[in-house]
Structure 1
Amino acid sequence: MNLLWHMHQPFYYYKSKIYLPWVFLHAIKDYYDMANIASKYNVKVSFNLTPSLLLQLDEIDENKDYFLSLLLKKNLENNEKEYVLNIIKSVYVETMVKPYKKFYFLFNKNNLTQKDFNDLEVFYLLSWCGEELKKRRFIQNYLNKESFTYEEKEELIFYLLEFVKGIIPFYKILQDIGKIQITTSPFSHPILPLLFNMENAKKANPKVVLPKIYFPLKDDAFMHIKKAKEIYKKFFGFYPKAFWPAEGGISEEVIDAFRDEGINITFSGDDVLKKVESDIYSPYEYNGVKLFFRDRYLSDLIGFNYKYFEVDDAVNHFKREIDNRPGNITVILDGENAWEYYKNPYQFLHKFYEMLESKNTKFFDEVESVKKLNKIIPGSWINGDFNTWVGDEEKNRAWEMLFLSKKEITDDENYLYVEGSDWFWWYGRGHESVQNEIYDEIFRNYLMDVFKKHKKKIPAFLVIKNFHKKTYFVPQKFILTPRIDGKTNFFEWVGAGEIKENFGALAGNIPKIYYAIDEKNLYLRIDDSKYEFREFKNVKGEIVEAVGERREFLRFTLKGENFEMILPSEIIKLELNEIYKNWFV
């Protein structure tokens, strides 16, 4: 079995500062702990550290990180206070806020005093502290208090900054002694197949709508590879041999480019392999490059599903799954974002590695038996296509901004920053964040700075915002009949429609509604809901009692804080057999 944790943050540089705090926050919670926990077990684990993450980790200080600079400012302007609250309010409440009684009180309090605001900021930082930090007496002293002076906040921030400075050297030590291996990605995490040829999106999915203007950016694609190699060497002393291509995006041009640059191992998702081969439990070789394809089901269990499980149940379930699979299993997933939603993330990781000690884990360069791959159809680890980054109005407009800018001014390093996958991820349909407007501003400012640097007039198309607040409605993708049994399962709801209101600073704390329709029923699921549904009215206006059991018109179950419900056609009086034909994409 091969295991790779992918660690990535986009370039948040804006006006000479790191404008969003996620590099720092994940550093004190995830980046050190993930390597530290893995190092305690006899398990071979790989970590992918992107250049954009490495450079920002290396540069963070109280002046460079905009969020920290505001926390250190004694009197904030209204817009600065709003920015800080926007960041704090985006945290996941159940696991990051509620465990701290005073934090939860302040989080929900209106009209905060200056002292309240100071305490809120400190508790926010403490909530992000990971396993290692919480073991330290310095942090424990803070956790035992309910109120803090400005000087204590200041001391905490500088303590955490010192902690962050040791993370990259720690990874280097672990790699040098053979405990882990470190891979990397192209410079700003671009979708390389789209840079080589935007038509690759069509090859992956013929129905996708391409931008109105595009042309090959082959030189930029090679620059991303070359810069990544140099950054890796700066931190770890030698050139990398393995690249995780951003979002698992590969094509034949990408593989050939890797080979030409001395990269002999790369990765993608099993949805890409399944277009040409059926055996995902074998590494492959294409034009001199070894390819590993992640088991999407197993990887997503950790990333999305096990947060609902008790720790022992999750680990035992994963063990059964890998025991029943033949050949070489490849598990690759995000190594930083899932843990905010686990109730006991570190307990899970310790038991997970303890279980893996009895398995035959390997580094990727130790796997020898490979099959020949004669063809690659372009794709990514998300559904085997590139629809997450191109195809709708906002995503395509962002690409058009880039291409129109490059037609005016050909060469500028800023283009490399806006070619990163993250900007297109947040634009348009599919994903939302309370910081979407900020992402749009940073993206456009990178391009505007090109024109400023070359003393040319900024085009009007860069001044107009490319982000619109909206209610997200994601149509259902295919006929779906989830089981309503109180055991919310990620995979039962894959392809379901979604309804999610963007509530500004409160987004992320308002429940997302999933729906599914088949020929007979409408199914609803509400995640993280604190509401207790005790009565419903039927079509005659009569109250129907329905608490956790089936009734004449309605059945629903409660599982923890998630809610699932089935509405048969009688109660909603809808011709579902007609609706379900038209509500899918």
Structure 2
Amino acid sequence: MSDKKLKLVLCWHMHQPEYRDRQTGKFMLPWTYLHVIKDYVDMVAHLEAVPAAKAVVNFAPILLEQIEDYAAQINRFLSERSLIKDPLLAALAGQAVPSHAADRLKLLKNCMKANRERQVDRYPVFSRLVDMASWVESHQDSVNYVNEQFITDILVWYHLAWLGETVKKDDNRAQRLIEKASGFSFDDRLELLELINDLLKGVIGRYKTLAIQGRVELSVTPYAHPIMPLMLDIASAHEAMPDASLPELKSYPGGEERVLWHLQKGIDTFQQFFGFRPLGCWPSEGSVSAKTLDLLSEFGFKWTASGGSVLHNSLHASGIEAKGVHHPYKLADSDIACFFRDDGLSDLIGFEYSKWHADDAVADLIHHLENTVRHEPAGSVVSIIMDGENAWEYFPENGYHFLSALYRRLSDHPNIELATFSECLGDHVTVKSLPKLVAGSWVYGTFSTWIGSPDKNRGWDMLGDVKESFDKAVLSGKLTEQAIAEAELQLAVCEGSDWFWWFGDYNPGEAVSDFEKQYRLNLTNLYRLLDEEPPAYLELSFTKGAGAPAMGGAMRRGKEI
């Protein structure tokens, strides 16, 4: 073993916002269960397949709750034929095949929301169905001639395309349906639904088993994925963006109290699912500030992490010559270590390697790591931190060959050691001192993805309005304890980061519309829980998109290019 063995931490962050209308229980968008059956099951299968592999896997608590809800709903349908409150799954189950033309068009459109090259065109039958559905969409009068078999086949194929590659390789049900290709029956649909149910029921337990075995470290984010530094101090955005315009809202009312709530609720939810308290916290979007680190430390977390650009900004502000990101740092008088993302390597996986042959991509990554072994001191830690969901649909076969080779070759490498953040601290890696931390996130080292533009600022002002109403209603004494608890959960949903991520004209129009509508619904529901009339402005759209960002806008690079 080389005395310059490099520690490498692969950290996969799994999160989806609250897609449910919490007043009806209906899932407004299907992305939680689709990412479970494709990405979460594939990732855990890759880790299971290589016993020496290790990784950190971070779960947003509000995602765990939605996975549990989906599994419970499908279970009840299979045993009692009760209604599934997700339109796409309900249609697959034969519960909600629409008869009205507009509803049929919407269903067909939803069944085309998949990567054309990697998920659709891979299967000639599905590709033809999507071509036909596209023609129907552009000739809407023809939808009246679309029969139930066409709808059944495109529904089945859509879900088959979204299955993880490990499922397609290992599950006889998936293989049989893919081979059948067309003319799917009601029994076929039920079989597919049972497969989806098995994946949903088992996925959390599989990660828990790996954690118990010491092969995975599980960590947590605050409950509903809020940007903690902005809730604590909106002006912290100016630390990395001094000229940014900010909302009329000068400070988020009771922001520190809300951050504490999200942290405690997040830990409680995590413990409910996994049975132990996490040692680490990936703060939502890697968003940190000095005050945020203080609070994380008070909650007993041993480590947190952020983006490499945050470290570079902080070193520059501290008057320290730029150094590499391959060490954790601590602020003075702080007990929590902060690791920093290698933006270059992380972005290669997220944005470039999907275009390469898998073996070449893994070889290139290892070449970069071997250079780090040669040129950096012993005890260095490389942190590759990524969205664990959205990159893989751009890879052939959902990244199967890349991830298989990645774990296998890294586990066998004589000079690279796969590790977790807690293991790094347990092995007493060097933790350097950082005099000053410039508040920011993993995206560009700033908060520009969530604040600073007119539409994002408007979102913050709307959130501030409802928070003031919430505070007044609580103080008035007119709400019962149960009503306050329900309103507090609804407020948490409104405080999530994802709504602000999508506000802005540089994003795709359909995604902006979906998330903006749900944000206004979330705010409206909160006003109604407070027994107040929602403001009229919540009836009006306030942001539109017309952009075409890389990877559909679901991912960002760590550095601006």
**2:476 matches 1:422:** no
3-state SS of the aligned residue for 1:324?
Answer: helix
Q: One-letter code of the match for 1:133? A: V
Q: One-letter code of the match for 1:123? A: W
Shift of 1:471: 5.6
**2:54 matches 1:44:** yes
**2:346 matches 1:299:** yes
Identity of aligned residues (%): 32
**Residue 65 of structure 1: which of 51, 70, 86 is its match?**
86
TM-score, scaled relative to structure 2: 0.82
- Contact 1:268–1:293 (CA<8 Å) still a contact in 2? yes
**2:354 matches 1:347:** no
Shift of 1:395: 1.0
**2:324 matches 1:279:** yes
In the other structure, the counterpart of 2:97 is 75
In the other structure, the counterpart of 2:37 is 28
Shift of 1:71: 2.8
> For the residues of structure 2 that align with 1:3 and 1:159, how far apart are their CA atoms?
29
Cα offsets for 1:217-252 (capped at 9, x unmatched): 111111111110001100111211100011110001
> For the residues of structure 2 that align with 1:436 and 1:192, how far apart are their CA atoms?
23
- Contact 1:86–1:434 (CA<8 Å) still a contact in 2? no
**2:126 matches 1:103:** yes
> For the residues of structure 2 that align with 1:154 and 1:207, how far apart are their CA atoms?
56
> For the residues of structure 1 that align with 2:232 and 2:456, how far apart are their CA atoms?
18
Structure-to-structure mapping, 1:128-207, within 5 angstroms: 128-134=162-168, 135-147=170-182, 148-207=184-243
**2:270 matches 1:232:** yes
Unaligned residue ranges in structure 1 (runs of 5+): 475-489, 497-585
- 1:179 and 1:416, CA in 2 relative to 1: closer, same or farther beyond 3 A? same
- 1:336 and 1:295, CA in 2 relative to 1: closer, same or farther beyond 3 A? same
Q: Stretches of 4+ moved more than 6 A in 1?
A: none
Shift of 1:432: 2.5
- 1:323 and 1:213, CA in 2 relative to 1: closer, same or farther beyond 3 A? same
**Residue 448 of structure 1: which of 515, 519, 524 is its match?**
524
In the other structure, the counterpart of 2:27 is 18
3-state SS of the aligned residue for 2:325?
Answer: coil
**Residue 334 of structure 1: which of 363, 377, 387 is its match?**
387
TM-score, scaled relative to structure 1: 0.79
Q: One-letter code of the match for 1:387? A: S
In the other structure, the counterpart of 2:477 is none
**Residue 362 of structure 1: which of 419, 422, 446 is its match?**
419
Structure with the largest fraction of strand = 1
Cα offsets for 1:491-522 (capped at 9, x unmatched): 9x9856xxxxxxxxxxxxxxxxxxxxxxxxxx
> For the residues of structure 2 that align with 1:447 and 1:473, how far apart are their CA atoms?
28
Q: One-letter code of the match for 2:403? A: L
- Contact 1:425–1:431 (CA<8 Å) still a contact in 2? no
Structure-to-structure mapping, 1:206-221, within 5 angstroms: 206-216=242-252, 217-221=255-259
In the other structure, the counterpart of 1:508 is none
> For the residues of structure 1 that align with 2:112 and 2:525, how far apart are their CA atoms?
31
Q: One-letter code of the match for 1:397? A: R
Q: One-letter code of the match for 2:127? A: Y
Q: One-letter code of the match for 1:271? A: S
- Contact 1:39–1:180 (CA<8 Å) still a contact in 2? no
Greater length-normalized contact order (CA 8 Å, ≥ 6 residues apart): 2
> For the residues of structure 2 that align with 1:45 and 1:469, how far apart are their CA atoms?
36
Q: One-letter code of the match for 2:467? A: K
> For the residues of structure 1 that align with 2:559 and 2:69, how far apart are their CA atoms?
39
Shift of 1:74: 5.3
> For the residues of structure 2 that align with 1:53 and 1:471, how far apart are their CA atoms?
28
> For the residues of structure 2 that align with 1:6 and 1:212, how far apart are their CA atoms?
32
Q: One-letter code of the match for 1:106? A: L
- 1:152 and 1:74, CA in 2 relative to 1: closer, same or farther beyond 3 A? farther
Q: One-letter code of the match for 1:3? A: L
- Contact 1:250–1:380 (CA<8 Å) still a contact in 2? yes
- Contact 1:214–1:403 (CA<8 Å) still a contact in 2? no
Unaligned residue ranges in structure 2 (runs of 5+): 1-7, 75-83, 137-145, 316-322, 475-486, 551-555
